[in-house]
């Protein structure tokens, strides 16, 4: 029970941390609707699970990478990808929204899969994610011991991800409620804001990577 409560608290803290993906999630909900934003968010979570597996099974390697020279290379690569996406989003043209009877933009299965892939790749582009999951798992390991440690960690991580996803759903529905106030001018401004945020994160990562 202590691990579950710690996981819920950790998931809440992580979910209110504002990163670049947070703004894309809100933009997707406003522009494309709830289903599209959930598809995007599931892609992010799948990538989180991948990073958790890497951090758990390659604990020693991630710990070494965290303070090694390769860490700088990852930051430079991630920063460059963030810069490219940020510049693209800043100049991206605003497209009209095709709304169906449910109030969402029309998408087929391929469209939802592409949105999930977008969430996966944007989260993948941030190499710092694996390091903070490494830190989270380290914290969870301190609260679990004995032969059931693996099961304890599974419970701990599950509580984090469920809390994380639940709060993201609140963000998605909250953002969609703003849709009546959204105009093409607002969407254009939102694109530029997201572009600036990604460029900012990219510059920070590049600076950290170059500085070593």
Q: Where are the alpha helices (DSSP H) in 92-148?
A: 109-124, 128-142
**Residue 69 Cα to chain centre, angstroms:** 25
Q: Among the listed ranges 49-58, 99-108, 201-210, which one has the minimum average pLDDT value?
A: 99-108
How far apart (Å, rounded) are the C-alpha atoms in residues 156 and 138? 11
Q: What is the pLDDT of residue 15?
A: 77
Q: Which two tokens stand for residue 133?
A: 């999951």
Residues 18-55 have pLDDT tens digits of 777 888 888 888 888 889 999 999 999 999 999 888 88
Residues 147-185 have pLDDT tens digits of 346 677 888 888 889 998 999 999 899 888 877 776 777
Q: What is the pLDDT of residue 66?
A: 58
Tell me the range of 52-66, 98-112, 148-162 where mean pLDDT is highest.
Answer: 148-162
Tell me which H or E stretch contains 56.
helix 34-57
Q: What is the pLDDT of residue 45?
A: 93
pLDDT > 70: what percent of the chain? 79
Residues 123-132 have pLDDT tens digits of 888 777 877 7
- Cα-Cα-Cα-Cα torsion 50, 51, 55, 57, nearest 10 degrees, comes to 10
Decide: helix, strand or coil at residue 199.
helix
The residue among 55 and 116 whose pLDDT is bigger is 116
How far apart (Å, rounded) are the C-alpha atoms in residues 166 and 11? 10
Give residues with Cβ within 8 angstroms of 88, minimum separation 6.
195
The residue among 68 and 13 whose pLDDT is bigger is 13
Q: What is the pLDDT of residue 120?
A: 94
> Measuring CA to CA, which residue among 152, 33, 50, 194 is closest to residue 103?
33
Expressed in angstroms, the distance from the first to the final Cα of the chain is 41
């Amino acid at each position: 029970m202590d691990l579950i409560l710690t996981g819920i608290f950790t998931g809440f803290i992580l979910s209110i941390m504002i990163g670049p993906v947070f703004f894309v999630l809100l933009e997707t909900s406003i522009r494309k609707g709830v289903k599209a934003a959930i598809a995007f968010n599931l892609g992010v979570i799948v990538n989180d699970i991948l990073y958790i597996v890497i951090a758990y099974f390659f604990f020693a390697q991630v710990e070494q990478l965290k303070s090694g020279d390769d860490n700088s290379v990852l930051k430079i690569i991630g920063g460059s990808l963030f810069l490219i996406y940020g510049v693209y989003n800043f100049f991206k043209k605003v497209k009209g929204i095709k709304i169906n009877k449910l109030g969402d933009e029309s998408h087929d299965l391929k469209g939802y899969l592409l949105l999930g892939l977008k969430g996966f790749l944007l989260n993948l582009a941030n190499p710092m994610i694996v390091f903070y999951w490494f830190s989270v798992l380290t914290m969870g390991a301190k609260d679990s011991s004995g032969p059931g440690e693996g099961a304890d960690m599974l419970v701990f991580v599950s509580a984090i991800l469920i809390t994380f996803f639940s709060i993201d759903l609140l963000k998605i529905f909250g953002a969609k409620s703003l849709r009546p106030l959204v105009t093409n001018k607002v969407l254009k401004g939102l694109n530029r804001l997201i572009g600036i945020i990604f460029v900012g994160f990219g510059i920070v990562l590049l600076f950290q990577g170059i500085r070593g």
